[in-house]
């Protein structure tokens, strides 16, 4: 039923291929064919392609118009397995994995490629030192399958590898399609906000004016973009400020505050998403960031250049659908609390998350006398490890009503403080604490197969006792958040995988063009919009069942069909 083939790119751009059995061993001699894309195209029965690296292989296939349904990305798997084994810092290339198999010297990973704006070609170039003979690749693959089986949760770890591999496909496809971007609209926005640009690359007019206002308010020349200068200026005016963070400045009664805050806001847009960004990152009506699935330790994506995951709200006006097309913008509602309900299996929280309506309202009805804000702050405080303020005050109420949910994140925090590792639901693992005996054996105890212990799953990561407690607490906050944020990222990967499958299965012209943690944008012909909305809803529910099994927790979306991104919500 499932037919797996391994494929590798040859030096001449051809393909080396072999069919594999369930344990990863070839069931026929490998063959070499002259054209990679043709080799893949001519084998439509293959349900999963096993390759070293999607970044190496998949852009070539897409360029030739040969998408694939599924893949197994060996370097993605290596990274996830190393993480699970508590060896996250070790080289993760297939060549390194093979060297470890042979107990030979392990080559270091090549340094990360820096972003080259607008360059697609970089994706085609294999990184030197990572090539591997085909037989060696197959050995690594078979070994990896066994290592999945040796984890404490073989099913979920295999799912994680499959999901992250699917993420690599989605990323390559989105890199290729790009986000529709109207440079002319972007310029309009910049002109409205910042005024004219002056020749010579200096500040645009409105920034210069605001800087003058700041200086006038202080009675001397002050550079608003230099925190040290601003702190000094306030000191001379008799006001002590610890920093120039916005919320701190806004407490002050001083005429410089308003223009200063405004300057900082616009300055950021100018430097991070201004004219030079536009020049660098937008070509032919598309913004093409280079997505990196699993770019963060928690499994959230990053982008390599372009800042695609931090597009300021005001700039989103420039994201405009093509003529006759629409953007379906879908935002998962309160994703992290829903995920916490699913992973902690707290009965009360599952009940609250078992409806499509606003989760915080439901929460406040149950435990906060209808005060939605308090409910929200308490829950986020629990997930983020808030140490003071209202969140802490309301935490007690949360703990009373939802003891298992709070215990789940508390246990994760304790694990972190004690230097142990924590894992997401599918098994992505936190990095070892800095200075916790690094290299070599990590001595993770492996126990039974399958389902969850009651708390967050902690593994021994070589705790070094006698640590500075503020470090330990910071690490506790990190691991506390990690289990929720990371499990949410697990779910989001499955969502993407399900969505791209259903778009393909329905034969739509729709394209996934944007993904940001809990939000997707699909660009589609107007007449497909309804189908796409339904596909997203279904994919969210399927992702929930696939990740968490039989759970009452719902994963609804707020969806908008719009012509411009800024018109969503």
Choose which of 53, 244, 487, 559 interacts with DNA (CB under 7 A).
244
CB of 509 to DNA, least distance (A): 26
Q: Would you state the torsion angle of the CA atoms of residues 105, 110, 111, 112, taken in this order, to the nearest 10 degrees? A: -130
φ/ψ of residue 280, rounded to 5: -75, -35
By CB under 7 A, the count of residues binding DNA is 57
- As a residue count, the chain comes to 569
CB of 336 to DNA, least distance (A): 9
Choose which of 197, 254, 401, 477 interacts with DNA (CB under 7 A).
477
- Say if CB 160 and CB 492 are below 8 A apart: no
**Mask for 260-299, x = binds DNA (CB under 7 A):** -x--xx--x--xx----x-----------------xxxx-
First vs last C-alpha separation in the chain: 44
* 445 contacts DNA (rule: CB under 7 A): no
* 225 contacts DNA (rule: CB under 7 A): yes
Helix (H, G, I), strand (E, B) or coil at 470: helix
Helix (H, G, I), strand (E, B) or coil at 289: coil
Burial category of 248 from C-beta neighbours within 10 Å (exposed 0-12, middle 13-18, buried 19 and up): exposed
CB of 121 to DNA, least distance (A): 18
The residue range among 21-29, 72-80, 389-397, 547-555 that interacts with DNA, by the rule CB under 7 A, is: 389-397
* 305 contacts DNA (rule: CB under 7 A): yes
HEC string for 47-107: CEEEECCHHHHHHHHHHCCCCCCCEEEHHHHHHHHHHHCCCCCCCCCHHHHHHHHHCCCCC
- Say if CB 348 and CB 408 are below 8 A apart: no
Residue in the structure block whose two tokens are 């040859």 = 10
The residue range among 42-50, 180-188, 307-315, 440-448 that interacts with DNA, by the rule CB under 7 A, is: 307-315
**Mask for 496-525, x = binds DNA (CB under 7 A):** --------------------xxxx------
Find residue 50's DSSP bridge partners: 6, 72
The residue range among 14-22, 34-42, 388-396, 540-548 that interacts with DNA, by the rule CB under 7 A, is: 388-396
CB of 473 to DNA, least distance (A): 8
| Interaction residues for DNA, span 113-172 (CB under 7 A) | 115
The residue range among 70-78, 130-138, 350-358, 372-380 that interacts with DNA, by the rule CB under 7 A, is: 372-380
Nearest CA-CA partner of 176 in 300, 61, 348? 61
Find residue 71's DSSP bridge partners: 49
Residues that bind DNA (CB under 7 A): 115, 225-228, 231, 243-247, 249, 261, 264-265, 268, 271-272, 277, 295-298, 300, 302-307, 309-313, 373, 377, 380-381, 384-391, 474, 477-478, 481-482, 485, 516-519
């Amino acid at each position: 039923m499932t037919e797996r083939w391994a494929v590798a790119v040859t030096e001449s751009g051809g393909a080396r291929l072999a069919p594999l059995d369930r344990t990863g061993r070839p069931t026929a001699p490998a063959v070499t064919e002259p054209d990679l894309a043709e080799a893949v195209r001519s084998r439509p029965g293959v349900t999963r392609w096993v390759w070293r690296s999607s970044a190496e292989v998949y852009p070539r296939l897409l360029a030739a118009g040969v998408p694939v349904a599924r893949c197994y990305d060996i370097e993605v798997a290596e990274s996830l397995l190393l993480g699970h084994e508590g060896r996250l810092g070790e080289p993760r290339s297939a060549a390194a994995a093979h060297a470890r198999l042979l107990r030979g010297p392990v080559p270091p990973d090549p340094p990360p490629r820096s972003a080259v704006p607008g360059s697609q070609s970089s994706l085609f170039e294999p990184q030197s030192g990572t090539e591997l003979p085909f037989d060696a690749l197959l050995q690594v693959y078979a070994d990896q399958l066994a290592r999945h089986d040796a984890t404490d949760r073989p099913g979920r770890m295999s799912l994680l590898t499959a999901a992250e591999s699917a993420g690599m496909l989605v990323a390559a496809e989105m890199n290729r399609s790009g986000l529709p971007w109207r440079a002319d609209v972007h310029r309009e926005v910049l002109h409205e906000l910042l005024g004219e640009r002056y020749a010579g690359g200096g500040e645009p007019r409105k920034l210069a004016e605001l800087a003058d206002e700041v200086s006038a308010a202080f009675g001397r020349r002050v550079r608003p973009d230099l925190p040290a200068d601003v702190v000094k200026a306030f000191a001379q005016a008799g006001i002590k400020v610890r920093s120039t963070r916005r919320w701190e400045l806004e407490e002050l009664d001083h005429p410089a505050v308003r223009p200063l805050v405004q300057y900082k806001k616009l300055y950021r847009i100018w430097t991070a998403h201004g004219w030079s960004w536009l020049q660098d990152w937008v070509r032919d009506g598309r913004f093409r960031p280079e997505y990196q699935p699993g770019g963060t330790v928690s499994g959230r994506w990053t982008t390599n250049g372009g800042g695609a995951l931090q597009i300021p709200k005001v700039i989103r006006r420039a994201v405009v659908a093509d003529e006759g097309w629409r953007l379906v913008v879908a935002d998962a509602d309160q994703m992290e609390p829903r995920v916490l309900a699913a992973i902690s299996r707290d009965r009360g929280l599952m009940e609250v998350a078992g409806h499509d309506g606003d989760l915080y309202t439901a929460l406040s009805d149950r435990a906060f006398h209808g005060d939605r804000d308090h409910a929200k702050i308490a829950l986020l405080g629990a997930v983020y490890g808030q140490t003071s303020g209202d969140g802490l005050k309301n935490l007690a109420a949360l703990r009373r009503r939802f003891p298992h949910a709070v215990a789940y994140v508390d246990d994760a925090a304790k694990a972190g403080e004690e230097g142990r590792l924590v894992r997401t639901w599918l098994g992505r693992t936190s990095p070892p604490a800095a200075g916790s005996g690094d290299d070599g054996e990590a001595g993770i105890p492996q126990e039974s197969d399958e389902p969850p212990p009651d708390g967050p799953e902690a593994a021994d990561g070589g705790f070094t006792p006698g640590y500075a407690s503020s470090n330990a607490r910071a690490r506790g906050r990190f691991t506390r958040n990690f289990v929720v944020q990371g499990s949410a990222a697990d779910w989001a990967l499955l969502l993407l995988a399900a969505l791209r499958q259903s778009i393909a299965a329905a034969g739509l012209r729709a394209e996934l063009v944007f993904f940001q943690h809990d939000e997707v944008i699909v660009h589609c012909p107007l007449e497909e919009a309804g189908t796409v909305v339904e596909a997203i809803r279904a994919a969210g529910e399927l992702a929930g069942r696939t990740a968490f099994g039989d759970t009452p927790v719902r994963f609804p979306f707020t969806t908008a069909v719009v012509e411009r991104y800024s018109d969503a919500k």
